[in-house]
Amino acid sequence: LPRRAADDERIRIAVLHGQTFEMEGWAANFRIARDTAATRGFDYVALGDTHALRRYPPDTAPMVYPGAPEPTRFGETEAGNIVLALFPRRRRNPTVMVEPVGHFRWHERVCSSLEELRAVRAEDHRQSVLRLAVRMALPAREYELAEKILRELEGDIAQPGVVAIPSFDRSGLTLDAREIMVELDELPDQVREAARRLQAMIDAGDRPDIAQRALVHLYKLAHGTESTA
């Protein structure tokens, strides 16, 4: 980069892509000295590479990474901004302003009760990237309600969900089948045998998600609550 000439009073701005920092385990690409602005006579250096907001002194000639305009993964807390560098008349020192522009908000949640899941459903997630893990064992009626809430949050091919971008882990949502087995005692042997086989699949880890849903449907059919639609 050329140095500023002694008689040059113009505003000088550089736009560079590279690294002013070290990342453990990674080789630095296109190294940039942190004093480039000061030593080369630039009033402002706009940097690109990292997704985080970073600013290097001096304030009279700052070097700034604005970061990515949107986060790209969970844990990126300093993305979602742009940086404005304003140069008033008759002054080369810029005023640097950080402006949030990110549309999406990234959240990680764990629900261990139906009340917590209801609370998530009550929130506004139209701009959310939501990673949700469900960790609870519920009786049949509450299990079906939890599934209904998850369907509303996630949506399907026919109906968009209330979460903009969902990523759900249902592996911890299990059916407490004790109530079902008791309430099926007075039904025909074939129904009770089907319930026992499904429970055995759940206990053995043999497609437990499918077996749990089948057991819930069996319970609802036995009580006349299954939809025929």
193-208: per-residue pLDDT in tens?
888 898 888 888 898 8
The pLDDT value recorded for residue 227 is 45
Report if residue 88 sits inside a domain: yes
- Asked if 94 and 152 sit in the same domain, the reply is no
133 against 203, higher pLDDT: 133
Measured from the Cβ of residue 100, the count of other Cβ atoms closer than 10 Å reads 8
H or E element, residue 172: strand 165-175
Listed residues 47, 71, 100: the one ending a domain: 100
Which has the closest alpha carbon to 138: 183, 178, 176? 176
- Asked if 160 and 59 sit in the same domain, the reply is no
The pLDDT value recorded for residue 23 is 63
- Asked if 123 and 93 sit in the same domain, the reply is no
What percent of the chain clears pLDDT 90, i.e. is strictly above it? 55
Instruction: Quote the mean pLDDT of the chain.
Output: 88
- Asked if 54 and 110 sit in the same domain, the reply is no
The total number of structural domains that make up the chain: 2
- Across the chain, how many H-helices and E-strands are there? 6, 9
pLDDT tens for each residue of 5-64: 999 989 999 999 998 876 667 777 788 999 999 999 999 999 998 888 999 999 899 999
Which has the closest alpha carbon to 32: 53, 1, 66? 1
Over range 163-181, report the average pLDDT: 87
